[in-house]
């Protein structure tokens, strides 16, 4: 049985030959690459929502070189500590699937039998994600209306994606783990100095969320030496700076053949509380 639920009637979905089907008769074709489209038309805000093809390819090429491997290892370690031999996990806003695939492979290497699903609103991202890890499930879906059942997953990853807290709380089991990954204060600082006249650090804060207990804030610090214009531009294209940088700043960066830049991440680790004021969360 799939981790996914029917987006029309919320019934369980079962994957068959080329399609997901629910007992109510709804059917959703599996794309050639292996993902399924579970975003109803009335939930789409544009014809092609989410990251476009160029951003997806930039992120795929950059991450595939292992530049963010320290962050991946930190995320994997947290999910490796989950109890049970067959944890169910969700990567919400999974993009091109770098972290989804890495988590799945780490759990398999540890002798576990994970079930993992990735969701994103970009079909371009999911084309790459589904090719990257065939054993995972991938669906075009909104994080604010996840096509998953209540309390069905042991862990949720949200890495640089919209924070849909109510949905994450709903799909997590009591005691489940929620990882929220955000940039640290000095993330890509040297790039920002080139792009902007007056760069400022990212805000760093600890925010409690209803229904969750803080377990840790894990810093992941590093430094990159980018030796080609292609790698520099791929990093630039996969950041929000690509859309809001003045032309002069973008031209200064485009002229560089090498760049040394710091990376800084914060992995906020939460546990879903079993109950709050007598209510099931």
The model's pLDDT over 109-168, given as tens digits with 9 standing for 90+, comes to: 999 999 999 999 999 999 999 999 999 999 999 999 999 999 999 999 999 999 999 999
Average pLDDT in the chain: 93
Instruction: Tell me what pLDDT residue 173 has.
Output: 97
Whole-angstrom distance, CA of residue 100 vs CA of residue 65: 16
Contact, 161 vs 93, CB < 8 A?
yes
pLDDT confidence of 49, banded at 50, 70, 90?
low
Tokens of 107: 């759990």
Rg of the chain taking only CA atoms, in angstroms:
19
What whole-number percentage of the chain has pLDDT above 70?
A: 94
Instruction: Tell me what pLDDT residue 52 has.
Output: 84
pTM score, two decimals? 0.93
Number of neighbouring beta carbons within 10 Å of residue 132: 21
Whole-angstrom distance, CA of residue 268 vs CA of residue 207: 9
Non-local CB neighbours of 198 within 8 Å, separated by 6+ positions:
none
Instruction: Tell me what pLDDT residue 42 has.
Output: 66
Tokens of 172: 């997590």
Non-local CB neighbours of 100 within 8 Å, separated by 6+ positions:
91, 94, 116, 118, 129, 132, 133, 136, 138, 157
- Over the stretch 61-86, which tens digit does the pLDDT of each residue have? 999 999 999 999 999 999 999 999 99
Identify the weakest region by mean pLDDT among 97-101, 154-158, 272-276: 272-276
Tokens of 280: 């099931």
Instruction: Tell me what pLDDT residue 280 has.
Output: 43
Domain architecture of the chain: domains with CATH: 35-280 (3.40.50.150)
Contact, 30 vs 19, CB < 8 A?
yes
pLDDT confidence of 40, banded at 50, 70, 90?
confident
More confident residue, 49 or 27: 27
Tokens of 28: 């959703």
């Amino acid at each position: 049985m799939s981790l996914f639920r029917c987006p029309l009637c919320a019934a369980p979905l079962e994957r068959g030959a080329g399609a997901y089907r629910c007992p109510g008769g709804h059917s959703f074709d599996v794309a050639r690459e292996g993902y399924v489209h579970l975003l109803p038309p009335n939930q789409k805000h544009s014809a092609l929502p989410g990251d476009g093809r160029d951003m997806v390819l930039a992120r795929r090429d950059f991450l595939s070189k292992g530049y963010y491997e320290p962050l991946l290892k930190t995320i994997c370690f947290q999910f490796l500590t989950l109890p049970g031999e067959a944890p169910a996990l969700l990567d919400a806003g999974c993009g091109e699937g770098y972290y989804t695939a890495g988590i799945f492979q780490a759990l398999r290497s540890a002798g576990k039998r994970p079930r993992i699903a990735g969701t994103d609103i970009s079909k371009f991202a999911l084309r790459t994600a589904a090719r990257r890890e065939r054993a995972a499930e991938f669906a075009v879906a909104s994080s604010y209306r996840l096509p998953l059942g209540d309390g069905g997953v042991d862990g949720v990853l949200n890495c640089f994606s919209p924070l849909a807290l109510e949905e994450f709380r709903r799909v997590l089991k009591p005691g489940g783990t929620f990882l929220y990954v955000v940039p640290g204060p000095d993330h890509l600082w040297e790039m920002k100095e080139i792009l902007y006249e007056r760069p400022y650090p990212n805000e760093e804060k600890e925010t409690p969320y209803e229904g969750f207990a803080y377990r840790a804030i894990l810093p992941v610090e590093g430094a990159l030496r980018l030796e080609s214009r292609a790698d520099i531009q791929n990093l630039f294209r996969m950041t929000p700076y690509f859309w809001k940088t003045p032309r002069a700043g973008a031209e200064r960066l485009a002229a560089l053949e090498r760049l040394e830049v710091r990376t800084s991440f914060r992995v906020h680790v939460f546990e879903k509380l079993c109950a709050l004021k007598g209510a099931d969360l």
